Amino acid sequence: MIRNVVGAVLALAGATAAVLSPFRAWYDGRHGRDYALDELFTGITGAKADPWWSLLLPFALAALLTLVGVVLRSRPLVALAGLVVLGFTVFWMVRVGQYRGGLTVDGAGTGLGDGVANALGGGILLLLGALVMSGRRRRARRGTERREGPGDVEEPRPYAPPPGTPDPREAPVADPYGAPAGDPRESSAQGPYDPYDPYGSYDPHGSEPTRTFEVPGQDRGRDQGRDQGPDRGRDPDGPGSEPR
């Protein structure tokens, strides 16, 4: 985000310098808007050109490309605008050098003027802006979405298994106190919890018979109580028994 802002500022500054350069002196006090575009191909003359058919036209198109590139955060468009400005400036310098027999830099205003410096500086700023800009962020890797904002936070997508694949989150979990997960004998062999039989009679492998535990002496005491009393040894249903 910060890189895009800094790159946009550099690009806009370079486009502004490039557009203003034709209104400055380029060589011997002659402004850039006085050089016609066809003179770059046919030869430099002393005729004054139409401003919209001069060096102002390619520089205005470069400024338009810069605006579109900044809005779309497109590094190629901004870089293309910088190449257009630098290309036409260097091409003009070559043609003027052929016409004049060489280029000179003179502080008295008889050589290269500040308009050429503005054009060269604007093209360099456009290229720097394209290098600094981070451009439009694409998806970094599959399964994540990148959100534009401070810090460029990545948000994971919700998990979705492929079609026909069971969801691992719904897989049965093994019971640490009972039968293994997914045992078909679990529902039939293991009954409800019996407080009088804490060890249970469930056998996960089915190889041992059901075992029960009895308290020693429980049945013996019950039989002893039956043999004591006045009716000891009598048949409760035999002759001489009292009706109930």
- What is the rounded distance in angstroms from the CA atom of residue 59 to the CA atom of residue 159? 52
Over residues 118-122, mean pLDDT: 95
Over residues 46-74, mean pLDDT: 92
- Domain range annotation of the chain: 2-132
Rounded to the nearest 5°, which phi and psi values hold at 27? -155, 130
Over residues 119-143, mean pLDDT: 82
Quickly count: other Cβ atoms within 10 Å of residue 164's Cβ.
5
Per-residue pLDDT reduced to its tens digit, 37-56: 988 888 888 888 888 889 99
| pLDDT at position 145 | 47
Q: What angle do CA 105, 25, 124 make, to 5 degrees?
A: 75
Q: Tell me the residue type at 57.
A: L
In contact, 120 and 18? CB cutoff 8 Å: no
Nearest Cα to 29, choosing from 101, 107, 82, 132?
A: 107
CA of residue 19 relative to chain centroid, distance: 38
Mean pLDDT of the chain: 75
Percent of the chain with pLDDT over 90: 38
SS3 56: helix
Over residues 67-93, mean pLDDT: 95
| pLDDT at position 187 | 47
Per-residue pLDDT reduced to its tens digit, 138-180: 654 444 445 554 445 556 666 666 776 766 666 666 555 555 5
Over residues 54-63, mean pLDDT: 94
Q: Judge whether residue 19 has pLDDT over 60.
A: yes
- What is the rounded distance in angstroms from the CA atom of residue 29 to the CA atom of residue 242? 149
Nearest Cα to 15, choosing from 53, 56, 66, 50?
A: 66
Q: Tell me the residue type at 79.
A: A
| pLDDT at position 153 | 55
Q: Which two tokens stand for residue 73?
A: 């955060």
